[in-house]
Amino acid sequence: MNKKLSVFLAIVLILSILAGCGNNNTTQNTPTQEPLDIAYYAYNSEPILNWDPSVMFSNGIIILNNTYETLLRFYPDTKEFEHVLATNYEKSEDGMVWTFQLRKGVTFHDGTPFTADAVKFSIERTLEIGQGASYIWDPVEEINVIDDYTVEFRLSYAAPLDQIASSPYAAFIMSPAIKDYPSDWFEAGNEAGTGPYSLENNSMGDEVILTKFNDYWKGWDGEHFDKIIIKKIPETSSRRQMVEKGEADITLQLTPEDIEALKNNDSVKIYVEPSFTNLIAFFNTEKAPLNDINVRQALSYAFPYKDVVDYAAGGYASQSIGAIPKGHWGRGENLFQYSLNLEKAKALLQESGIQQNELKLLLTYMSGDEAERKAAELYKAELSKIGVELEIRAMPWESQWEMAMDPLPENRQDIFIMYWWPDTSNPYSWLYSLFRTEESILFNMSYYSNENFDQLIDLGYEKSGIDIEEAENLFIEAQSILIDEAPAIFIMDKEDVWVTSSSFSGFKYNPSYPNVVFFYDTYRK
């Protein structure tokens, strides 16, 4: 070995590294007949973890809502339904029988024609497996096939079946042919929907590629994308750089600082949209002294709403009014809103006989959530001013939840912070899950129980399918009870900020379908 050799080795090393550099024009000099129009969605988490449309109850809706379709699609701003696989529907006066006329000439990706049997099969399969969001179909007693294109739902109690049928989860219609497929067919990453796009390639938990389904019933006239790439890009700065450079077409969940920096950038478009996610802090109403309404009201007056909106959410949120977020029906615009008022909080605490520095509270939140952490810390600072000590504990969701379900109220937390978003676009989704009396604890983290409230929201739900205005009034009345008795602090309604490349057009966000981009409506211009 000599000097020459070591010099040679060094040169080889440097050259081999440089060989990788050079302009990334690999995609341009490739032998394709016609250029494909490809949309790229840079998503912050796994695009999908479960391909079974009956079971999937998380991120996967961003894929399944492009490969499958539902009978109806709900538009929360107008409270109207788009007829997707159903062309029309009627309900009986008592809201117990619903009849859907189905669209003709629709085929599943596997070639099976779409008929009433498919609807019956899909909903029954979802109910039978009984996982995920299948409970939304609970009111359904039987499904009858009247003829090939008419299907009738008989309910055991009145419920808004149109909203259920347009749910982003568990309402997908799938090909009946799948019953003959092996049981692990979905697990292997397959789909059998009627949607505009079909699955081309899937590497689980990382990347999904969809390609246009040529026989889609709406046809492919006009401008559309041929292929869709949906890829997990967990790092915020990477997502920002990709969309800035035009490598990705659409992304979300950037930091407020990133969004601020991108505002003056012509290569991107920014959409600030209401989301149906709100942040709520639940008081343990079964534990002294939080079982005292005055104490809960005092703690509600000590919350720094504005600071949390400004600093924890970077201004991309607004203070909640009641339990229902901005833009969703059933929100009571005229309901009372607590504001930061430490004098009032002190007075209320004294009224309840609580001395300075006597009250020590434990707050739990999901570890890793920056907005929750900041909100908790801002709250702690305010509470210390009125002599209340707040201990903040970050926990993995599973542990946070398990602690909240401890049989002894004394062993549970005092304040539980979490986000909530709807499974069907109905106020019941919040009011039932979060505040209705529960026999065994599930998501009512205030352990709240009020018979009057329960009756109001049950009636509201029944009326939702019959008279939506009346239902709305009932839900608002129920929320006024919540605000008065203060089992929880309604902190803020989050906003989603979407950033797209400047050529990505046709995007309109529908917050009833969280994080979903309906790619059929989008095109490049």
**Is 222 within 8 Å of 212 (Cβ atoms)?**
no
Check residue 58 for interaction with other proteins (CB under 8 A).
Answer: yes
Q: What is the phi-psi region of residue 232: left when phi exceeds 0, alpha when psi lies from -120 to 50, beta otherwise?
A: beta
**Is 367 within 8 Å of 394 (Cβ atoms)?**
yes
Name the one range near other proteins by CB under 8 A: 43-51, 348-356, 373-381, 454-462: 43-51
Name the one range near other proteins by CB under 8 A: 73-81, 236-244, 280-288, 327-335: 236-244
* Cβ contacts of 404 within 8 Å, gap of 6 or more: 364, 412, 413, 416, 441, 445
Least distance to other proteins, CB of residue 38, Å: 6
Residue with smaller CB distance to other proteins, 229 or 483 = 229
Check residue 14 for interaction with other proteins (CB under 8 A).
Answer: no
Residues in the interface with other proteins (CB under 8 A) total 70
Least distance to other proteins, CB of residue 162, Å: 21
Residue with smaller CB distance to other proteins, 297 or 444 = 444
Least distance to other proteins, CB of residue 281, Å: 19
Beta strand 140-147 pairing with 488-501: unpaired
Residues 246-285 that bind other proteins (CB under 8 A): 247
Handedness of CA 337, 340, 342, 346 (dihedral sign): positive
Angle at CA of residue 288, ends 283 and 289, nearest 5°: 75
27 DSSP β-pair partners: none
**Site for other proteins (CB under 8 A): which residue of 382, 414, 423, 495?**
423
Name the one range near other proteins by CB under 8 A: 72-80, 232-240, 260-268, 450-458: 232-240
CA dist 119 and 45 (Å) reads 31
Q: What is the phi-psi region of residue 192: left when phi exceeds 0, alpha when psi lies from -120 to 50, beta otherwise?
A: beta
Least distance to other proteins, CB of residue 39, Å: 11
Beta strand 250-252 pairing with 38-43: parallel
Which CB contacts under 8 angstroms, 24+ apart, belong to 8-13?
A: none
* Cβ contacts of 367 within 8 Å, gap of 6 or more: 394, 395, 396
Name the one range near other proteins by CB under 8 A: 94-102, 196-204, 318-326, 382-390: 196-204
Q: What is the phi-psi region of residue 423: left when phi exceeds 0, alpha when psi lies from -120 to 50, beta otherwise?
A: alpha
Check residue 131 for interaction with other proteins (CB under 8 A).
Answer: yes
Measured CA distances, 87 to 84, 102, 125, 402, 440 (Å): 7, 5, 23, 45, 41
Check residue 455 for interaction with other proteins (CB under 8 A).
Answer: no
Q: Which residue blocks in 219-262 are alpha helix, DSSP H? A: 236-244, 256-262
Name the one range near other proteins by CB under 8 A: 147-155, 254-262, 275-283, 401-409: 401-409
Residue with smaller CB distance to other proteins, 379 or 401 = 401
Residue with smaller CB distance to other proteins, 113 or 409 = 409
Check residue 419 for interaction with other proteins (CB under 8 A).
Answer: no
Check residue 403 for interaction with other proteins (CB under 8 A).
Answer: yes
3-class SS letters over 77-94: CCCEEEECCEEEEEECCC
Check residue 485 for interaction with other proteins (CB under 8 A).
Answer: no
Check residue 502 for interaction with other proteins (CB under 8 A).
Answer: no
Residue with smaller CB distance to other proteins, 207 or 454 = 207
**Site for other proteins (CB under 8 A): which residue of 111, 219, 234, 353?**
234
Check residue 15 for interaction with other proteins (CB under 8 A).
Answer: no
**Site for other proteins (CB under 8 A): which residue of 183, 214, 264, 440?**
440
Site string for other proteins, 159-188 (x = CB under 8 A): ----------------------------x-
CA dist 126 and 123 (Å) reads 5
The tokens describing 15, both together, are: 């050259």
Check residue 32 for interaction with other proteins (CB under 8 A).
Answer: yes
3-class SS letters over 458-509: HHHHHHHCCCHHHHHHHHHHHHHHHHHHCCEEEEEEEEEEEEEECCEECCCC
Phi, then psi, of 127 in degrees rounded to 5:
-65, -40
**Site for other proteins (CB under 8 A): which residue of 37, 57, 292, 473?**
57
Least distance to other proteins, CB of residue 209, Å: 7
Residue with smaller CB distance to other proteins, 45 or 480 = 45
Measured CA distances, 487 to 311, 354, 525 (Å): 25, 19, 50
Check residue 355 for interaction with other proteins (CB under 8 A).
Answer: no
Check residue 9 for interaction with other proteins (CB under 8 A).
Answer: yes
**Quick one: 463 exposed, middle or buried, by C-beta within 10 A (0-12, 13-18, 19+)?**
buried
**Is 430 within 8 Å of 280 (Cβ atoms)?**
no
Check residue 512 for interaction with other proteins (CB under 8 A).
Answer: no
Angle at CA of residue 437, ends 435 and 443, nearest 5°: 50
Residue with smaller CB distance to other proteins, 194 or 198 = 198
Check residue 133 for interaction with other proteins (CB under 8 A).
Answer: yes
**Interacting residues toward other proteins by CB under 8 A:** 1-3, 6, 9-10, 13, 17, 19-24, 26-27, 30, 32, 36, 38, 40, 46, 49-50, 55, 57-58, 130-133, 135, 187, 200-201, 203-207, 209, 227, 229, 231-235, 237-238, 241-242, 245, 247, 367-368, 396-399, 401-403, 405, 423, 433, 439-440, 442-443
